[in-house]
Amino acid sequence: MRRLRRGLVRAASEISEGVRIALANLVGARLRSFLTTLGIVIGVMTVIAIVAIIQGLNASFESQISTLGAGTVYVSKFGWFVAGRDAWWEMRNRKDLGRRELEAIQREALHASAIAPMAMTRGPVTRAEKEVSSVQIIGTNAQYLETGAGSVAAGRFLAEIDVDLSRNTVVLGAELVDRLFPGATAEGALGKKVVVNGIPFTVVGTIGRRGQLLGMNMDANVIVPYTTFLRDLGGKRSLNIAVAAAPEDLPALEDELVGILRRVRQVPPDKKDDFALNRQEQFLKVYRQLTGALYGVAIGVGMITLVVGGIGIMNIMLVSVTERTREIGVRRALGARRRTILLQFLIESSVVAALGGAVGTALGLGVAQLVALLTPLAAAATPSAVALGIGFSAGVGLLFGSWPAWRAARLDPVEALRYE
Amino acid sequence: MDDALILVEDLCRYYEVGGETVRALDGVSFAIERGEWVAIVGQSGSGKSTLMNLIGCLDTPSSGSYRLNGADVQGLADDALADLRNKEIGFVFQTFQLLPRATALANVELPLVYRGVSRRERRDRAEAALAAVGLTNRMHHRPNELSGGQRQRVAIARALVGEPSLLLADEPTGNLDSSTGEEIIRLFDDLHRRGHTILLVTHEPRLAARCPRAIRLTDGRVVGDGPGAEVATLTAARVVHA
């Protein structure tokens, strides 16, 4: 027990002595320590900044994409991600989706919690002398909001009766309220007349602000009953149909939709689907592939810089071992074992590198914050990135410090004491 | 003879230099009892540094045997030699060999760090050792803030702090002016009277004459072993004859 205790005390005091010596040398040669760790600082800074920016992008992208509705399947003629010209032409030549498909889904889709058609076009919206051009005009039904399309800010949304009677009622997006009724509250727009693509409509409600989705303004739109849309604004367009379900029901819903659509559209069993089921997950998947590649590049660059930084540390440690040859001799004469010397120099190189890593992490986070302030990009730092930055550089110090430390430990005490 | 602190028999140390064998030490035998103060005296190249390295367990002999405090040093592994140095030997060097960035106290604590002594005990013992060499008010100074004599006192405190069985001093006055050197020698004299075993390696007959016993080396062989004054005189005579 006594021996073990002594051994532990000895190991602890050797380690604390090592850290003390390392810090003393660091302070004793500030400029050199700074230059030594510059490589590590830059490497860690680059990686941390890039990772923070990518993580910030991820967070903002995921919050944007969630406005699409996580539990919604969008039935369309076109898939969102088209691979090549031939696929695009194949989609282009498909039959349009129309009321028949909508009604079949409404009749037969048991897993659906909400079903909303979406007929879309662009056109001007005017009120008196004010005009907003190229507004997204959406024709839909009362269930549209339940597919994850925002919420009412003032008044009401479209009701079944608006759809059944093909009324000229309209719900305005937040930006339309701002631009057609400047200075007024959302309530101020209610009951007023606006002209959508040449047709007069009465405002019954407004939608709360939704922000942007992938650069698309989600607030510059107006929503009208799809029946009115098809009658007055263009009946020849293919419908999109948004079908919502509880997340656990989504796979069953998709199976169901495929069956319904194939039957209604009379797709022979040996042919592929002539429609597409789109989900927000597809965006996430493509996006993750993209940022995964970015991550790879960032980590590659960071690795190269860390290796360069590590070589810098190795160089300076070799110089340090030579300069302190006599010190090593004295320590050996006083009873330091080889592994004690080894440990001392390993601690020194990893402390230097870890401090460089800490500085680099701080700078990297600073750069990321700066980027977040000056550009639309977001930045987020996770504690794991910080721990990784510091831990990794300490590891680099350990790795590249091991050869100099081994050389120090191998010195012959007699020679070392005599070294001039 | 069995209870001798140092027992050296037919000790040889050869070096290979440019294909030739140099016999730095060629069959040296002697014994040193506990409490003795012995000078190893000889001119440069006589083998006294080689002998000191062997006795200090910094080097291992080519042949012959060396027993320190009853333990056979022959064939010990590197770690065991390090532990032996830590426990049994207190080194005092000509150039002091203090760590420049550490305070006097930290320098004196160092042997205890390598022995695994707790921080508080280390501090207490180092303070006591510095007090014993009269440096109580210089404990927190760095070597470059101390005079040569004070540095050597720190080095002696460092050598004594671990209570070794042997104090091994290599030209301890070589880098000091004569009056400071005299102080250091008086300190050794004092330590000797308090029972420490001291081995003093020097090329100065004058210094060897002060020791109760001296061993004279020439060309790696013992050519004189007796009372310091006699061996030193003999040496001086030889130098005159030469």
What residue ranges do the domains of chain A occupy? Answer: 10-64+284-418, 72-279
CB pairs under 8 A between A and B: 76
Backbone angles phi, psi at B142, to 5 degrees: -90, 160
* Inter-chain touch B85–A335, beta carbons under 8 Å: yes
End-to-end CA distance of chain A: 43
Confidence label for A404 from pLDDT (cuts 50, 70 and 90)? very high
Could you tell me the pTM of the whole model?
A: 0.71
Can you give the pLDDT at residue B234? Answer: 67
Give the B-side interface with A, CB within 8 Å.
53, 56, 58-59, 78-79, 82-83, 85-87, 91, 93, 97-99, 101-102, 110-111, 113-119, 122, 158, 162
Distance from CA of B230 to the nearest CA of A (A): 32
> Is A327–B59 a contact, with Cβ atoms under 8 angstroms apart?
no
Q: Return the closest-CA partner of residue A231 out of A199, A191, A195.
A: A199
Q: Taking the mean position of all CA atoms in its chain, how far away is CA A151?
A: 25
Average pLDDT, integer, range A360-384: 81
pLDDT band (50, 70, 90) for residue A302: confident
Name the average pLDDT for chain A. Answer: 86
Confidence of residue A236 (pLDDT cuts 50, 70, 90): confident
Residue with tokens 């903002």: A60
- The band of A67, judged by pLDDT with boundaries at 50, 70 and 90, is low
For an interface test with A, give the residue of B113, B166, B168 to mutate (most A CBs within 10 A).
B113
Lookup result for tokens 């280390």: B122
Q: Do B82 and A337 touch (CB under 8 A)?
A: yes
Closest residue on chain A to B50 (Cα): A414
If you average pLDDT over residues A14-37, what whole number do you get? 77
A336 to chain B: closest CA residue? B114
**Chain A interface mutation, best of B99, B120, B151, B165, highest count of A Cβ atoms under 10 Å:** B99
Per-residue pLDDT tens digits for A75-110: 988 888 777 788 888 888 888 888 889 999 999 888
- CA–CA separation, A312 vs A315, rounded Å? 5
Is residue A164 over pLDDT 80? yes
Shortest Cα–Cα distance, B116 to chain A (Å):
3
Q: Mutation test of the interface with chain B: which of A323, A334, A347, choosing the one with the most B Cβ atoms within 10 A? A: A334
Amino acid, res. B62: S
For range B33-54, the mean pLDDT? 92
> CB distance B119–A13 less than 8 Å?
yes
Closest residue of A to B90, CA-based? A334
Phi first, then psi: give them for residue A108, nearest 5 degrees.
-115, -15
Q: How far is A64 from chain B (nearest CA, A)?
A: 58
Given a cut of 50, whether residue B240 has pLDDT beyond it is no
Nearest residue on chain B to A2, alpha-carbon basis: B116
Q: Which residues partner with B222 through β-bridges?
A: B217
The top-level CATH class assigned to B34-53+82-241 is alpha beta
Q: What is the DSSP letter of B47?
A: S
Distance of residue A318 Cα from the nearest chain B Cα, in angstroms: 19
According to DSSP, the β-strands at A212-213 and A216-217 are antiparallel
Residues B107-147: pLDDT tens digits?
A: 999 999 888 888 899 999 999 999 999 999 999 999 999 99
Give dist(CA A306, CA A312) in Å, integer. 10
Among candidates A25, A335, A338 on the partner chain, residue whose Cβ is nearest the Cβ of B86 = A335
A10 and B116 in contact by Cβ < 8 A?
yes
What's the whole-number mean pLDDT along residues A107-129?
Answer: 90
Find where tokens 């930045």 sit: A379
**Chain A residue with the nearest C-alpha to that of B164:** A334
B contacts of A9 (beta carbons < 8 Å): 116-118
Q: What confidence category does residue B242 fall into, taking pLDDT thresholds of 50, 70 and 90?
A: very low
CA distance A366 to A379: 10
Whole-number percent of chain A with pLDDT over 70: 97
> Is the distance from CB of A80 to CB of A286 less than 8 angstroms?
no
Interface of A with B (CB under 8 A): 6-11, 13-14, 17, 24-25, 28, 326-327, 329-340, 413-414, 417
CB-count exposure of residue B94 (10 Å: 0-12, 13-18, 19+): middle
| Residue in A with minimal Cα distance to B161 | A334
Q: Which of A137-146, A374-383, B193-202 has the lowest mean pLDDT?
A: A374-383
| 8 Å CB contact of A13 and B116 | yes
Residue percentage of chain B with pLDDT more than 70: 95
Q: Is the pLDDT of residue A377 over 80?
A: no
Residue B241 has pLDDT above 50, yes or no: no
For residue B3, pLDDT over 80 is answered with no
Of all residues in chain B, the one with the smallest CA distance to A29 is B101
Do residues A67 and A150 touch, judged by C-beta distance below 8 A? yes
For the residues of A75-95, what is the DSSP string, one character each? EESS-SS--SHHHHHHHHTSP
| Residue B231 predicted with pLDDT over 80 | yes
Residue B239 scores a pLDDT above 50? no
B176 contact partners, CB below 8 Å, separation of at least 6: B148, B149, B152, B184
Task: Specify the higher pLDDT residue, A309 or A14.
Answer: A309
Tell whether the model's pLDDT for residue A68 goes beyond 70.
no
Of A103-112, A224-233, A288-297, A308-317, the one with minimum mean pLDDT is A288-297
- pLDDT exceeds 50 at position A409: yes
Name the residue ranges covered by the structural domains of chain B. 34-53+82-241
Shortest Cα distance from A286 to chain B (angstroms)? 58
* pLDDT exceeds cutoff 80 at A13: no
Average of per-residue pLDDT across A319-329: 92
Smallest Cβ distance to A340: which of B91, B114, B119?
A: B114
The verdict on a CB contact (< 8 Å) between B85 and A329 is no
Smallest Cβ distance to B113: which of A17, A24, A25? A17
AA identity, residue A419: Y
Tokens of A384: 């794991």
In this prediction, residues B51-73 reach a mean pLDDT of 92
CB contact under 8 A, A13 and B117: yes
Higher pLDDT, A302 or A198: A198
